[in-house]
């Protein structure tokens, strides 16, 4: 019986395989280095903030327009200035627990510098140099004027400190990897401040700023893609309710065609709709805030919302 012979490797094939493996490993390491560099959390240095005299009245306006108390006030207590956090926000990516942003120096933001607060609002980066999750709507806050953010910070420092550290988020792998949020930011955080439209009136531009910046209305009133980002061409056409119950309505003229500017302003002031109904769900909390804005700001927001064209 003839014995079989094992196939022989071509001369030098081992060296070729080693070279390929080394090249692949080097390419992988280079790719990781590039990704690491691209996902470095951005910051705003203190040197970028010129001298500023805080306007506390404007800070309160930003606080109300932003609805800060709706998420950050301690749940189930009436004082909306006690911003101890703790609210659970359930999502497809896990559960986020809203942090303490009271002036408490240990558990809140009392020990934060102004630059750290501006960085969190505009860049989504924590004082520890980590990416914040976009459950905190910095994708909208990035459009705010820096002086408005600084005024908001000054106003927050006038509120009562609340002791108590909020527990960490409950997120499964891979969403618990904060560095990966840097890749998300590359796609969806453009870093562009609000730019007034010269073709529109000052009133329209004020409304556009309040709605798209501090008001972050699109964050709830828009559908999102699989990565949790707003679908740009469907902005303001309605979305899922953050509480998981029902949906948030379309606020373009597809839905609000029969509403006048006065109707929209009235809803922001009292919660009453043109058909003698009242708003419900999370919008009740929104109206608790907008009802305290000036009538001029509510009307500006209404003018802008009335201009939103229907989208398919």
For 95-134, the pLDDT digits (tens) are: 999 999 999 999 999 999 999 999 999 999 999 999 999 9
Task: State whether 212 and 118 are in the same domain.
Answer: no
pLDDT at 33: 64
Residue 288 lies in a domain: yes
88 — phi, psi (to 5°)? -95, 125
Q: Quick one: three-class SS letters along the chain?
A: CCCCCCCCCCCCHHHHHHHHHHHHHHHHHHHHHHHHHHCCCCCCCHHHCCCCCCCHHHHHHHHHHHCHHHHHCCCCCCCCCCCCCCCEEEECCEEEECCCCCCCCCCCCCCCCHHHHHHHHHHCECCCCCECCCCCCHHHHCCCCHHHHHHHHHHHCCCCCCCCCCCCCECCCCCCCHHHHHHHHHHHCCCCCCCCCCCCCHHHHHHHHHHHCCCCCHHHHCCECCCCCECHHHCCCCEECCCCCCEECCCCHHHHCCCCHHHHHHHHHHCECCCCCECCCHHHHHHHHHCCCCHHHHHHHHHHHHCCCCCC
pLDDT at 276: 82
Distance CA 249, CA 272 (A): 15
Mean pLDDT of 197-210: 97
pTM here?
Answer: 0.87
pLDDT at 15: 72
Mean pLDDT of 222-229: 91
- The full length of the chain comes to 312
Q: Is residue 243 a contact partner of residue 70, using CB atoms and an 8 Å limit?
A: no
Task: State whether 123 and 55 are in the same domain.
Answer: yes
Which of 27-41, 134-148, 186-200, 209-223 has the least mean pLDDT? 27-41
pLDDT at 1: 46
The pLDDT tens digits for 35-80 are 655 678 889 999 999 999 999 999 999 999 999 999 999 998 889 9
Task: State whether 204 and 159 are in the same domain.
Answer: no
Is pLDDT larger for residue 4 or for residue 257?
A: 257
Task: State whether 183 and 218 are in the same domain.
Answer: no
Distance CA 228, CA 180 (A): 13
- Split into its structural domains, the chain has a count of 2
Instruction: For residue 201, name the pLDDT band (cuts at 50, 70, 90).
Output: very high
Task: State whether 52 and 90 are in the same domain.
Answer: yes
Distance CA 88, CA 97 (A): 5
Distance CA 229, CA 250 (A): 17
Which of 9-13, 197-201, 255-259, 303-307 has the least mean pLDDT? 9-13
* The token pair that represents 207 in the structure block: 């409304």
Instruction: For residue 135, name the pLDDT band (cuts at 50, 70, 90).
Output: very high
Which of 52-61, 195-204, 268-277 has the least mean pLDDT? 268-277
Distance CA 239, CA 157 (A): 34
**Structural domain range at position 93:** 43-193
Of 169, 193, 217, the residue that ends a domain is 193
Mean pLDDT of 204-222: 96
CA distances in angstroms from 74 to 59, 84, 98, 199, 281, listed in the order given: 21, 5, 9, 43, 18
**pLDDT, averaged across the chain:** 89
CA distances in angstroms from 200 to 77, 115, 140, 205, 206, listed in the order given: 42, 33, 21, 7, 10
Task: State whether 173 and 123 are in the same domain.
Answer: yes
Mean pLDDT of 221-238: 92
Task: State whether 183 and 136 are in the same domain.
Answer: yes
Task: State whether 223 and 306 are in the same domain.
Answer: yes
CA distances in angstroms from 100 to 43, 170, 221, 268, listed in the order given: 21, 17, 25, 27
Of 178, 193, 208, the residue that ends a domain is 193
Instruction: For residue 213, name the pLDDT band (cuts at 50, 70, 90).
Output: very high
Distance CA 285, CA 161 (A): 22
Task: State whether 64 and 182 are in the same domain.
Answer: yes
Of 156, 171, 193, the residue that ends a domain is 193
pLDDT at 117: 97
End-to-end CA, the chain: 78
């Amino acid at each position: 019986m003839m014995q079989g012979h094992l196939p022989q490797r071509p001369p030098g094939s081992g060296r070729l395989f080693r070279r390929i493996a080394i090249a692949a490993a080097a390419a992988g390491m280079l790719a990781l280095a590039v990704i690491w560099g691209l996902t470095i959390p951005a910051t705003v240095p203190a040197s970028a903030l010129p001298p500023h005299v805080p306007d506390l009245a404007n800070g309160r306006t930003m606080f109300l327009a932003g609805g800060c108390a709706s998420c950050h006030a301690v749940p189930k207590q009436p004082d909306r200035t006690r911003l101890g956090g703790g609210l659970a926000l359930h999502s497809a990516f896990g559960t986020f627990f809203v942090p303490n942003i009271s002036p408490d120096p240990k558990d809140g933001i009392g020990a934060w510098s102004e630059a750290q607060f501006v960085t969190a609002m505009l860049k989504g980066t924590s004082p520890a140099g980590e990416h914040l999750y976009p459950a905190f709507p910095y994708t909208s806050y990035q459009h705010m004027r820096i002086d408005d953010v600084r005024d908001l910070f000054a106003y927050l420092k006038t509120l009562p400190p609340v002791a108590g550290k909020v527990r960490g988020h409950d997120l499964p792998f891979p969403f618990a990897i904060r560095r990966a949020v840097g890749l998300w930011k590359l796609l969806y955080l453009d870093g562009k401040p609000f730019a007034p439209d010269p073709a529109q009136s000052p009133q329209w531009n004020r409304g556009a700023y309040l709605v798209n910046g501090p008001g972050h209305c699109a964050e709830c009133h828009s559908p999102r893609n699989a990565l949790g980002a707003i679908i740009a061409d469907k902005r303001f056409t309605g979305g899922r309710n953050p509480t998981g119950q029902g949906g948030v309505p379309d606020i373009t003229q597809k839905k609000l065609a029969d509403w006048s500017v006065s109707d929209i302003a009235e809803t922001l002031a009292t919660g009453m709709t043109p058909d003698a109904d009242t708003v419900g769900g999370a919008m009740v909390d929104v109206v608790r805030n907008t009802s305290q804005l000036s009538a001029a700001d509510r009307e500006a927001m209404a003018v802008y919302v009335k201009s939103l064209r229907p989208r398919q």
